[in-house]
């Protein structure tokens, strides 16, 4: 959310510069409409790519598939992204920034109830299932399962964002460990817990499986000791 307007500004100035150079060097009205359009086309491409990357995988999805999904011709995505892997990275980055924002909001919303560590973790777990499995949740699964196709530099960006996302989890797990509610080593617990949650992408079926609330409760019951 917080970065969508900068994104728009950027593509705007780029677009008008290009059009000026190519079609009417001479000077026509500054196009405010076109500018918004261009930013949206980028987002539309990202959303379509996310869906296809998640469904078919990165390698099995051609840039032509993506172009067709948004009604473009085969070469046009490369007007918006310099490469297929830049598009992949954009999908992941947008997904991570949204997930971080959503997580922060969930924590802030829960604060009024003055939750303890266990309750806070429950909020994070529930929110994480939403990020993974909720409506419109193609971005994070793509990040989880297609990172192999990223360049080294792109992986660095993802690691940073993942660190940001995991930051609120660490002190909670530490607190629970201190209270005897979490018996395993904190670092390994974090890795194992994220695994348990992230793996749900492989088997969860929105129409047949339990609700996300049920899932989150089961996960908490599995990880957290009932009494100290």
Partner DNA sequence: CCTACCGATCGGTAGG
Containing 102, the helix (H) or strand (E) segment is helix 84-111
What is the DSSP secondary structure assignment for residue 176, as one 8-state letter? Answer: H
Identify the residue whose tokens are 């840039």. Answer: 63
Partner from DNA, a second copy, none contacting 178, C-beta within 5 to 8 A by type: none
Partner from a second copy, DNA, none contacting 73, C-beta within 5 to 8 A by type: DNA
Note whether 8 and 35 are within 8 A (CB): yes
* Residues forming the site for a second copy (CB under 8 A): 56-57, 59-60, 145, 148-149, 182-185, 188-189, 191-200, 202-203, 210, 214-215, 217-219, 221-223, 225-226
Q: Is 81 helix (H, G, I), strand (E, B) or coil?
A: coil
How far apart are alpha carbons 20 and 84 in whole angstroms?
A: 26
Containing 124, the helix (H) or strand (E) segment is helix 117-133
Cβ 39 to DNA, closest distance in Å?
10
Note whether 64 and 74 are within 8 A (CB): yes
Note whether 50 and 95 are within 8 A (CB): yes
Note whether 173 and 225 are within 8 A (CB): no
Cβ 193 to a second copy, closest distance in Å?
7
Cβ 91 to a second copy, closest distance in Å?
17
User: Which residue in 3, 9, 18, 111 binds DNA (CB under 7 A)?
Assistant: 18
Give the tokens for residue 220.
């908490």
Q: Which is nearer to a second copy, 20 or 217 (CB)?
A: 217
Partner from a second copy, DNA, none contacting 14, C-beta within 5 to 8 A by type: DNA
Choose among 88, 98, 82, 78: nearest CA to 57.
88
Contacts of 51 (CB under 8 A, 6+ apart): 69, 138
Instruction: Tell whether residue 76 is a contact of DNA (CB under 7 A).
Output: yes
User: Which residue in 52, 63, 123, 223 binds DNA (CB under 7 A)?
Assistant: 63
Instruction: Tell whether residue 16 is a contact of DNA (CB under 7 A).
Output: no
Contact pattern for DNA over residues 79 through 118, marking x by CB under 7 A: xx-xxxx---------------------------------
Q: Which is nearer to DNA, 81 or 139 (CB)?
A: 81
Q: Which is nearer to a second copy, 36 or 183 (CB)?
A: 183
CA distances from 70 to 9, 62, 90, 224 (A): 22, 13, 16, 45
Partner from DNA, a second copy, none contacting 149, C-beta within 5 to 8 A by type: a second copy
Contacts with DNA by CB under 7 A lie at: 14, 17-18, 22, 37-38, 41, 45, 61-65, 67, 71-76, 78-80, 82-85
């Amino acid at each position: 959310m917080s970065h969508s307007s900068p994104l728009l500004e950027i593509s705007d100035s780029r677009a008008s510069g290009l059009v000026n150079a190519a079609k009417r060097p001479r000077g026509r009205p500054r196009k405010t409409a076109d500018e918004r359009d261009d930013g949206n086309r980028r987002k539309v491409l990202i959303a379509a790519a996310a869906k296809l990357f998640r469904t078919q995988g990165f390698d099995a999805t051609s840039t032509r598939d993506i172009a067709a999904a948004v009604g473009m011709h085969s070469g046009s995505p490369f007007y918006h992204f310099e490469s297929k892997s830049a598009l992949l990275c954009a999908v992941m980055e947008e997904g991570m920034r949204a997930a971080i924002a959503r997580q922060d909001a969930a924590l802030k919303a829960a604060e009024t109830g003055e939750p303890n560590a266990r309750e806070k973790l429950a909020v994070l777990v529930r929110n994480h299932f939403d990020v993974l499995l909720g409506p419109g949740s193609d971005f994070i699964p793509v990040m989880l399962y297609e990172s192999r196709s990223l360049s080294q530099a792109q992986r660095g960006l993802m690691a940073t964002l993942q660190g940001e996302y995991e930051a609120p989890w660490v002190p909670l797990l530490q607190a629970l460990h201190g209270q005897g509610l979490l018996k395993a080593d904190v670092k390994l617990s974090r890795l194992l817990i994220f695994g348990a949650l992230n793996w749900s992408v492989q088997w969860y079926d929105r129409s047949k499986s339990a609700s996300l609330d049920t899932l989150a409760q089961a996960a908490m019951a599995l990880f957290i000791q009932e009494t100290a």
